[in-house]
Chain A
Amino acid sequence: MANMQINTELYDIERINGMDGASNNNSDTIPLSDLEAGETGIVKRIDIGSKLRHRLREMGFIPGTKVEVIRWAPLADPIEYRIRGYFISLRRDEAKDVLVSKLNGKGKRHRFRFGWRWNH
């Protein structure tokens, strides 16, 4: 376990090259954290700067995946999402690195929700 940091610099080249070009069609992408409860987005990409890139991808945040905002926590952070049939919560700060395109039309489940929505 001691020689763990070896060679990682070998891989870091890509970081310098700038991976952001990988998906540059960011015309109408917005941070996932900007969606409101009941809204749905399609994952476009995860920001290169996100420390959680790997983890989020493995949890299913793959480009093209539908993410639905279920609710904000009582203190507006973290936020609960539904993705691939399960529920996950992310901090606002973490969700902002997931870039999505907003889907039109709100989910039907909306009418069941108690309480208010923010920013209205």
Chain B
Amino acid sequence: MEKEKGIDSVLAGVGITKTVKVGLAGNPNSGKTTIFNALTGAHQKVGNWPGVTVDVMKGFARRNGYTFDITDLPGTYSLSAESKEERIARDYILDHRPDVIVQVIEGPNIERNLYLTLQLIELEVPLVIALNMYDEVKARGIKIDIRKLSELLGVPIVPTIGKRGRGMRRLMDRIIDMAENPGEYQKPVKVNYGFHMEEHIAGIENIISLTGELKKKYPSRWMALGLIEADEYVAARVKKATSMHEKLFLDVMDIRKHMVDMFKIDPEEYITEQRYGFINGALKESVEIPEKEELSLTEKIDSVITNRILGLPILFFLMWLLFQATFGLGAYPMEWIDMGVAYISSFMDLILPAGVFKSMIIDGIIGGVGSVIIFLPNILILFFGISILEDSGYMARAAFVTDRVMHALGLHGKSFIPLLMGFGCAVPAVMATRMLESRRDRIITMLVVPLMSCSARLPVYILIAGIFFPKQAGNIIFLLYIIGILLALIAARVLGTTLFKGESSPFVMELPPYRVPTGKSVVLHMWIRARLFLRKMGGVILIGSVVLWFLGAFPKMDTIPPAIEQQRITAEREYNQALANAESSEEIRNLQSQYRDRLQQIAQRQNALELEHTFIGRIGHFIEPLVAPLGFNWQMGVSLISGFVAKEVVVSSLGVLYAAGDDDQSDLEQAIIRSGITPLAGFAFLLFTLIYTPCIATISAIARESRSAKWMLLSVSYQTALAWLAAFIVYQGGRLAGL
């Protein structure tokens, strides 16, 4: 037994350390995640965006022999179980029974934050309040009498500054106090709902106390209020817990009817009003908010940023800036990485003995991974920018400014953010759809996100556009991005009006104050993205490269094809004959060089035949009829198939394919040009790359987020079909037009 337990529980057994289960609750933008990080040192994203921490994160902290097992609950404004986040938070509190709940309160916005506090108090959980952003409270001249407020609410309050880790020790001490002796540190405080309502509550509580099992399970006052509020989730829990629910429900219905008929009161409205009334009362006695004459900094910034005339241009400018930084600035470190990879490759070439293993290392692994790792700087810069936009609070403004358009397309302003993130990588973008409250919006957004051209597609664009449109590469790439956006918007509209008829979800969104992003959180965010990318390198892409190399290297031909042998013999015979007839030394030299060229061509043909013999050649030929109408050769077909692994692999597989079909000194671009692909087909190839399913990781993210194979399959099939159709129309149409 002892062995199975962790060291902490062993120590706990002898009274040395004790585990305290802590749930971290709070409004979105309350700085809950920064407190979580400050307490646990966990590495996690901080977003100044409502609902960014939908994932329930866990972490550990230690102090004075106590181990804190901390769960970071989703940010919610309330516990009414109206949204997924609220349900998660409430179910955690009800079902996991944490020892202490810490509510993080956004100090400068204390009034609305206290609404959640009252609900937590009614849930009768041991509660400690972290009054966060206390520096801002002071800076704004807000005076909070913490002792008084703590008395009025009956719970301990600790001022904290999450981003600087201030107040954490005191917070932990209060948590320990509360866990050890909740009765001493928390005073029962009740919102008084007025004489009639209290009578009704008491009546319901009476019935509840008759059913012993119910009373044991949940606080009876909380249940009574929930039932009177017609909270379906409370009703469902009550029904599950007791057989007497019918009597209870009938009584509740009577009460509700009574309130409506006699007092013209909507019970839900009444209860909410009373809670806010209580809050106002408590604040009046404990908080002084200065009469403000001046506009706050946030208001000043917003009067420009979300301005009627400037709002959209500023948005576009910021997006443009992000792009320039990502791709312009990123070009320099990319060059260094390129040089580094070349150096490693030549070093390996020197030290490794010739053979299959060397070929796998250099052509498979270094070639494949090397052509992808080069985009690490792009990804770092892009996510650096995105996390600044998020942490500063601009993302909410972006949603505010864009909602009119998004709404017209049947989406939510919040969809803008996943769509924007789609430019970086579809995987986090699909995961970001969680912040959308309605399933309809979520599904539509995650289905169209892959149409936003992700950074992994950029290497393909750069390579292909660089080859076929060297002077116009930038414009062509820009055009692809625009096409992607347009297709996404059309697809959203079509999906919204066909598969999802009906209203889109409400917009109600807080615009949090602007805050200076801390370097720590931005770097953390960037690091998380880089790690994701590098993990993809080490995993999917590494395996993909090796598999591709294998498919392209095996099976080997046993003998030289007779046709090739015959060509060699013929060439040699003709050369010898011509040589015998040659008269001048100049003519001999000419003949020699012609012969060399001819042998080289034959060798290339041999390589091509050998490659066709391999697995990959066979696959390529198998799908050739499918891609031929698009103007693609079989190599391109193969690279597109391998692109299902990850878009970057399209480039690396083209590299492997063409290196095999060519002599080694020439570089990929030359090889592709020589293979006789027209610029039109090149553009069709770019379009196909843009539109079809980005990668396995995205597919699996969609499956995970939609919780259904149906949407995943729809995503893959509609995008691939659309890609084929678009490439077909462009290529065949272009040919008809004489391009």
Contacts and interface: CB of A to CB of B under 8 A. Distances in A.
A89 B308 contact: no
B62 interface: no
Nearest to A63: B273
B16 interface: no
Contacts of A57: 268-269, 272-273
A81 B509 CA distance: 10
A115 B506 contact: no
Interface of B: 77-78, 80, 82, 108-109, 111-112, 115, 230, 232-233, 235-236, 239-240, 249-250, 252-253, 256-257, 260-261, 264-266, 268-269, 272-273, 276, 289, 293, 295, 298-300, 302-304, 306-312, 400-401, 403-405, 407, 413, 506-513
Contacts of A112: 295, 299-300, 303
Contacts of A60: 111-112, 115, 276
Interface of A: 1, 3-8, 10-11, 13-14, 17, 19, 21-23, 46, 51-60, 62-63, 65, 70-78, 80, 84-91, 94, 108-109, 112-116
Contact of A71 (B108, B276, B295, B308): B308
Contact of B510 (A74, A76, A88): A88
Query: Which are the 4 A-B pairs with shortest beta-carbon distances?
Result: A75-B404, A74-B311, A11-B230, A87-B511
A62 B507 contact: no
A63 B265 CA distance: 12
Contacts of A13: 253, 256-257
Nearest to A11: B230
28 contacts: A5-B232, A6-B236, A7-B235, A8-B232, A13-B256, A14-B260, A22-B264, A51-B506, A57-B272, A58-B80, A71-B307, A71-B308, A73-B306, A74-B308, A75-B401, A80-B306, A84-B112, A85-B111, A86-B112, A88-B508, A94-B506, A109-B299, A112-B299, A112-B300, A114-B304, A114-B309, A115-B307, A115-B309
Contacts of A75: 312, 401, 404-405
Contacts of B269: 22, 46, 53, 57, 62-63
B226 to A, nearest CB: 12
A99 to B, nearest CB: 13
A63 B404 CA distance: 28
Contacts of A109: 295, 299
A116 B513 CA distance: 23
Contacts of A90: 507-508
Contacts of A51: 506
B310 A17 contact: no
Contacts, number: 176
A89 B307 contact: no
Given A14-B260, A58-B77, A70-B302, 8 more contacts: A3-B236, A6-B239, A13-B253, A59-B112, A86-B112, A89-B511, A115-B310, A116-B308
Contacts of B260: 14, 17, 19, 22
Most B CB contacts (10 A, CB to CB) among A70, A86, A109 go to: A86
B102 to A, nearest CB: 21
Contacts of A3: 236, 239-240
Contact of B276 (A14, A62, A74): A62
A30 B236 CA distance: 38
B239 A84 contact: no
Nearest to B264: A22
A90 B109 CA distance: 19
Nearest to B76: A58
A22 B401 contact: no
A58 B403 contact: no
A37 B510 CA distance: 18
B112 A10 contact: no
Contact of A7 (B249, B289, B401): B249
B112 A71 contact: no
